[in-house]
Amino acid sequence: MLEIRWHSRAGQGAVTGAKGLADVISTTGKHVQAFAFYGSAKRGAAMTAYNRVADKMIMNHEKYMEPDFVFVIDPALVYTSDVTINAKADTKYIITTHLTKEELVKSQPKLEGKEVHTVDCIKIAQETIGRPIPNTPMLGAFMKISGMYDIEFFKESMVRILGKLPQKIIDANMIAIQRAYDEVK
Amino acid sequence: MAFDKMELRDIEVWDGNFAAAQALRQCQIDVVAAYPITPSTPIVEGYAKFLADGYVEGEFVMVESEHAAMSGCIGASAAGGRVATATSSQGYALMVETLYQASGMRLPIILNVVNRALASPLNVNGDHSDMYLGRDSGWIQLNAYCPQDAYDLNFIAFKVAENHEVRLPCMVHQDGFMTSHTAQGVKTLTDDAAYGFVGDFKAMNDMLDFEHPVTHGVQTEEDWHFEHKARQHSDLMTKVMPKIQDAFDAFEKLSGRKYNIVEKYDIDDADVCVVCMGTSVETAREVATEMRAKGIKAGVVGLRVIRPFPFFEIQEALKGVKAIATLDRSSPNGAPGMLFNEVAGCLFNLDKRPLLSGKIYGLGGRDLTKKHLVDLYTELQANVDAGKVTTQLQQFIGVRGPKLSFL
């Protein structure tokens, strides 16, 4: 079982990202689950989304999770939410930030001693898609860190999932995914 | 017919709402009259989009309330069409008056209920309060545990409800958010296979058959009211279960997926068991397997059919178990809990009665964790070892503050 928790703000695309990732993984024969905590969240409110991946049918519907990966797609959530909650000793973090890893860990001591990767998904999204929607770049960074799939396979799959969007938005997303893949540290 | 077919992959990653919307498309519903409410809105939105995109030949009726939504469904169904809608929580509560109309008029409407808490305090998350509110309304109630079930049970619902020996409306329940907004792999049917399973709608006593005029929704006083209600109850008690079983059998033949009136998991040699509904059934199955690895013979009984209540099937499933806990996800507000009472009724006349306790859990979407279930099975084993219920009969699981237990 692989478990992922997303930290996001409502409107940044964590739910779409989690469902998109689940869709890609499902095509490779694995079982998937993607869900989120909504509450009465308004656009901009901190929220979390979740992925589970397993080789057999996923029966567990508890919301509690000790994640293998934590994705933070809004830079401020590292300070305003506890992104380390319910984490394991070997949980890996991929965090959107303009800071270096050292600066980030210094500014949020809870991340000390953890496996932390940084990538500026907001900047990448703004420069490619033209809007600060950091969900697809985060998935590019995840492909690099996890080595889950070949990046070309992943991008091809995402083209299908983004299928209904205008071609130039799809193209921009592909560049964003590739840039995050290349730039994540 | 004048609509397009949709190519689906064998496995689609859908949440429970979209799975239900796809099933409504494939059943080619004639009329959906609906009013939106979280978390069920995407079901009727989905149908409306399929309709607008030319994938369904039907009518979407926008109304001013859930009471009007069900009233519209009743009119359309009486007129002789295949009819469905969806609702949750407060909307369901507003529909209650018309739920009784629909069943009393013997109209085979399908209602997707995405289970959600009832105010006050207001809460949009999943529990079973709305589902419990309608359990005496004369509808058939089927229960999904995951998006796959929500998809499949819609086909079963039409097949059963529209059978001329049944002619009763049917609800398909799924857990708000935990199923409705949780995306999982759903094995699909082709449009042709799905429609072939439910078949063309065959009208009966339809209002628009001008050669054979009929009256719907009449008044009967003490001269006839009791006979009508008794006949409806009699049909629910005797005619519905065999048709559900037939539909399950036919569906298994078509899809390979097997549904049962009562879903038994590791129950044959179980010492301890929980009885529950919705997503909790699947989580409990995972925990039961883990308990067996620790030497506790744990099982799970899930209700697939809530109404009519599977009295003898539950009795049969539980008669050899030593300690049982019922899990009610609705505040009983001054009583032991629906499942506790119903299960107690099943077990009371057995020669050897299992130990029975009832738990209230998960209100307003509160998480039921695996840890809760581990503790529960451990407590049930302690009951077995002591030969008696070691706690009070009713306990609350997962509520903050001092431990609550009663009776």
Strands B298-303 and B355-361: unpaired
Q: What are phi and psi of B367, to 5 degrees?
A: -60, 135
Specify the pLDDT at position B2.
62
Tell me whether residues B181 and A64 touch, CB distance under 8 A.
no
Question: Residues near A37 by Cβ (< 8 Å), separated by ≥ 6?
Answer: A47, A48, A49, A63
Tell me whether residues B124 and A60 touch, CB distance under 8 A.
no
Specify the pLDDT at position A41.
66
Tell me whether residues B283 and A35 touch, CB distance under 8 A.
no
Specify the pLDDT at position A42.
82
- Separation of alpha carbons B157 and B159, rounded Å: 5
Question: Does residue A108 sit at the B interface (CB-CB below 8 Å)?
Answer: no
Q: Which residue of B has its CA nearest to A32?
A: B184
Q: Which residues pair with B110 in a beta bridge?
A: B84, B170
* B212 and B303 co-located in one domain: no
Q: What is the pLDDT of residues B303-354, one digit of tens each?
A: 999 999 999 999 999 999 999 999 999 999 999 999 999 999 999 999 999 9
* B209 and B101 co-located in one domain: yes
* B218 and B271 co-located in one domain: no
Domain boundary, last residue among B209, B234, B255: B255
Q: What is the pLDDT of residues B78-96, one digit of tens each?
A: 999 999 999 999 999 999 9
What CATH number does residue B331 fall under?
Answer: 3.40.50.920
Over its length of 407 residues, how does chain B's per-residue pLDDT go in tens digits? 568 999 999 999 999 999 999 999 999 999 999 999 999 999 999 999 999 999 999 999 999 999 999 999 999 999 999 999 999 999 999 999 999 999 999 999 999 999 999 999 999 999 999 999 999 999 999 999 999 999 999 999 999 999 999 999 999 999 999 999 999 999 999 999 999 999 999 999 888 888 998 889 889 999 999 999 999 999 999 999 999 999 999 999 999 999 999 999 999 999 999 999 999 999 999 999 999 999 999 999 999 999 999 999 999 999 999 999 999 999 999 999 999 999 999 999 999 999 999 999 999 999 999 999 999 999 999 999 999 999 999 999 999 999 999 99
Specify the pLDDT at position A37.
86
Tell me whether residues B184 and A61 touch, CB distance under 8 A.
no
* B294 and B181 co-located in one domain: no
Specify the pLDDT at position A40.
65
- Separation of alpha carbons B147 and B206, rounded Å: 34
Tell me whether residues B367 and A31 touch, CB distance under 8 A.
no
Chain A partners within 8 Å of B280 (Cβ): 61
Chain A partners within 8 Å of B279 (Cβ): 61
Tell me whether residues B185 and A63 touch, CB distance under 8 A.
no
How does residue A43 score in pLDDT terms, banded at 50, 70 and 90? confident
Residues of B in CB contact (< 8 Å) with A are 11, 13, 15, 124-125, 146, 175, 177-178, 181-185, 279-280, 282-283, 285-286, 367-371
Tell me whether residues A61 and B181 touch, CB distance under 8 A.
no
Question: Does residue A35 sit at the B interface (CB-CB below 8 Å)?
Answer: yes
* B29 and B144 co-located in one domain: yes
Q: How far is B281 from chain A (nearest CA, A)?
A: 9
Tell me whether residues B282 and A59 touch, CB distance under 8 A.
yes
Residue B58 and residue B1 in contact, taking contact as beta carbons nearer than 8 Å: no
Domain boundary, last residue among B255, B286, B305: B255
Question: Does residue A33 sit at the B interface (CB-CB below 8 Å)?
Answer: yes
SS3 B302: strand
What CATH number does residue B137 fall under?
Answer: 3.40.50.970
> Domain ranges in chain A?
2-183
- CATH 3.40.220.10 is held by the domain A2-183: no
Tell me whether residues A61 and B282 touch, CB distance under 8 A.
yes
Q: What is the pLDDT of residues A115-168, one digit of tens each?
A: 999 999 999 999 999 999 999 999 999 999 999 999 999 999 999 999 889 999
Domain count for chain B, please give it. 2
Of B185, B282, B369, the CB nearest to A26: B185
State pTM to two decimals.
0.96
Of A34, A61, A64, the CB nearest to B183: A34
- Separation of alpha carbons B312 and B346, rounded Å: 7
Specify the pLDDT at position B98.
98
Residue B169 and residue B139 in contact, taking contact as beta carbons nearer than 8 Å: yes
Minimal CA–CA distance to B244: which of B152, B324, B177? Answer: B152
Specify the pLDDT at position B208.
84
Specify the pLDDT at position A39.
65
Average pLDDT over every residue of A40-66: 93
Note whether residue B4 is domain-resident.
no
* B209 and B267 co-located in one domain: no
Q: Which residue has the tokens 């071609």?
A: A167
Specify the pLDDT at position B297.
98
Domain boundary, last residue among B220, B255, B290: B255
Tell me whether residues B13 and A22 touch, CB distance under 8 A.
yes
- Separation of alpha carbons B328 and B339, rounded Å: 6
Domain that holds residue B242: 11-255
Alpha-carbon distances, residue A102 vs A98, A99, A105, A112, A123 (angstroms): 12, 8, 5, 9, 19
Specify the pLDDT at position B209.
86
What ipTM was reported for this prediction?
Answer: 0.94
Note whether residue B170 is domain-resident.
yes
Note whether residue B60 is domain-resident.
yes
